Every structure is written in structure tokens, then in C-alpha cells.
A = this chain, B = another copy of it.
Amino acid sequence: MKVRQLTFRLLQVYADVVRTGSITATANRLHLTQPTVSQQLKRLREIVGEPIVRQEDSRVVPTEVGQALYQLSQDLLSRADVFSQYLDEYNRGGRGHFSIGLVNTAQYVLPRLLGPFSQANPQVDVTVEIGNRQQMLNRFERHEDDLYVFSHPPSDDAVMAAPFLSNPLVVVGPENSRWASVKDLTMEALKEERFLLREPGSATRHTFDAWLYSSGVELRSTQQIASNEAIRLAVASGMGLAVLSRHVVADSPKGVQELPLQGFPLKSRWHFVVRRERRLPPAAYRFLSFVQGTLAQAFDEPEGEVAVAELLQALKDER
């Protein structure tokens, strides 16, 4: 058999001829003329190298080889069809894979979006990458993920970003800290405190540094710790104060409490970030849609909802 010349069209036509037992009938059903179908059969026979049908009592019946070919046709066509359905489902975003890169702090909130999404879309496979701002920027530069969450989107023309959730940075101290009840607490008062800081690459550190700089404060004593969780524990055990995303604290506030420092919480927002030129996997698009539908009620972030809606629209227009 000359496999390379075999076409699915031929198999379709052939299968229909076997089913109807009539060349003319198939021609009508497929909106072709009778000679066309005759010729298709002829060509298929040549490809197979063997007679596949014969005339019998005004019906066209498959030969023994034709029988086998019919089964093959059914089989192949249905497999192709399954694939086609898969494609549709993939394009609808209900199936497939995407990867999302999260800046460290975001890992405290994103699960609340990803969890329900996965539940609703079990066929979608999500890879979550986590790192500090700098690491995520590297991944971003290398196009390693489909979607990112930054609090400060990289400044790149090729970037589209939607601020979707507020990320207030607060100062925390140990439970029962003497500062907790101070009125009009200022940085000046905390000058002598040791501050436990995230590493320089992190967004939290960056934001805090910027605030310190703009308010002309210089810290006396600092210590660098690379993990939000470690910082929270260190604060709880009295090693010092820290600036953390409120989400970090809200998640499991044991042993620490927010301090009412003036000017705090520092406002910042998480952004969904995608590259303009990258074709977003339909599943990622579906995730964004899902998030958009959730933000207003579940997170009380109507602005975020609008921003995501705009991003979705922009992505649609890109295509």
C-alpha cells in the first residue's frame, strides 16, 4: 500500500460508500457528482493496490480487503475526530497547560485563585514557578513562563500588565510589642529597632527601600533574611521588626502583629503580566477570565476586575 498518498478525504468518501452501498448515494450526500466518487474509489484502490469493492446485485459491497480497509477507515477517522475535539477543548482553554511565575509574596494569595480554577478545570495543568523579583525578572527575560505576577511589572514595551489585587505592605512587630499601642507612631521612634529585611532582589525590599529613601530615613540596624516566612518567625521571636505584605501576616498571624506606623500600609498592587508578542495559551486566558469573574465578590477588588477585563480585551485584540 502506498501510504504516503493516502488522504483522509479518500477514507471519508470510501467509508460513506461502504455505508450507503451506493456510489450515487454517497455522491449526493457529500455534494459531489457520481463520477467524482467513482474516481476517488479508483484512486483509493490504486493506493491500496487491491480491489476494495465490487458490484453485487446493484449494490456496491466491499471485498474482503475492502472490509478491512473500512474498519481501518473508521478507526483512523474517529481518532482524527477525537484529536479535533481535543483541539477545540484546548482552544476553549478547558484543557491544556500553562505556567505562571509568581513573585514570592504572591504565593500567599494566588492559591486562593488557582485552587478554585483547577477545581473547575481539572483538565488544565498549571505549573507554578516561585522566586523573588529578580529571579522572576530573569525568567521573564527568557520567556520561560506564560504569565507572571509582579507587584512592579518590568518596564518593557512588550509588556501588558493588569493590577488586579492590592498588596499592602505593613510593619510588623512581635505580639504585645510596646509599639502596638503608640499613637501617631513614626519611623523616627523606631530608629533604634533592628529591621529584618528581605534580600535586595525582592519587591518588598525594593518598595520599602524606596519609601525609606523618599522619607529620608536611614535604618540603624538591619538583618537580611531571604524568606517571608523566616522573617515572620524571627519577628515573633523578638529579633526585630519587619515590613511584610499584609497577606503574609493575615495568612497565619501567630506571634506577630501589625504596627500602626504612620504612612503605612505602603500601597502596592500585584499585576498580571504577559508579553505582548507571546501567544497566551488558551488555558491561561481562561484562567484570567476566571480570575476576572472572581475578584469583585471574593476579593472585593472591583478595580482589579476592570483591569483584568481590559487585559483580556487587549489580548483578544492582539490576535
Q: Which residues of A contact B (CB under 8 A)?
A: 1, 3-9, 12, 48-51, 64-65, 68-69, 72, 75-77, 79-81, 83-84, 86-87, 90-91, 96-97, 279, 281
Report whether A83 and B69 are in contact in the complex, using a CB–CB cutoff of 8 Å: yes
Residues of the B chain whose Cβ atoms lie less than 8 Å from the Cβ of A9: 4-5
Residue A6 contacts which of B80, B91, B279 (CB distance < 8 angstroms)? B80
Are A87 and B50 within 8 A (Cβ)? yes
Interface of A (DSSP majority class) = helix
Question: How far does the alpha carbon of A171 sit from the alpha carbon of B249 in the complex, in Å?
Answer: 113
Taking a contact as CB atoms under 8 Å apart, the answer to whether B50 and A1 are in contact is: no
Given contacts A7-B6, A68-B86, A86-B68, contact A279 B51 (CB under 8 A): yes
The answer to whether B7 touches A87 (Cβ under 8 A) is: no
A21–B6 CA distance with the chains assembled, in angstroms: 25
The 5 closest A-B CB pairs, nearest first, are: A4-B9, A6-B8, A1-B84, A72-B83, A3-B8
User: Nearest-CB distance from A86 to chain B (Å)?
Assistant: 6
Please, how many angstroms separate the alpha-carbon atoms of A97 and B65 in the complex? 10
Residues of B within 8 A of A7 (CB): 4-8
Q: Is the CB of A281 within 8 A of B49?
A: no
Q: What would 17 more interface pairs be, CB under 8 Å, given A4-B12, A48-B87, A68-B86?
A: A1-B84, A3-B8, A3-B12, A3-B81, A4-B8, A4-B9, A6-B7, A6-B80, A7-B8, A50-B91, A51-B279, A64-B90, A64-B281, A65-B90, A72-B83, A76-B79, A79-B79
Measured CB to CB, the closest approach of chain B to A36, in angstroms, equals 14
Q: A227 vs B90: C-alpha distance in the bound complex, in angstroms?
A: 70
Chain B's closest residue to A281 (CB) is B64
Partner of A76, one of B49, B65, B69, B76: B76
Chain B neighbourhood of A279, CB < 8 A: 51
Residues on B with beta carbons closer than 8 Å to the beta carbon of A281: 64
Q: How far is the CB of A201 from chain B (nearest CB, A)?
A: 26
Query: Could you show 6 A-B contacts with beta carbons less than 8 Å apart?
Result: A1-B83, A3-B8, A3-B84, A50-B87, A64-B97, A72-B79
- A3 and B80 alpha carbons, distance in the complex (Å): 7
CA distance A3 to B83 in the complex (A): 10
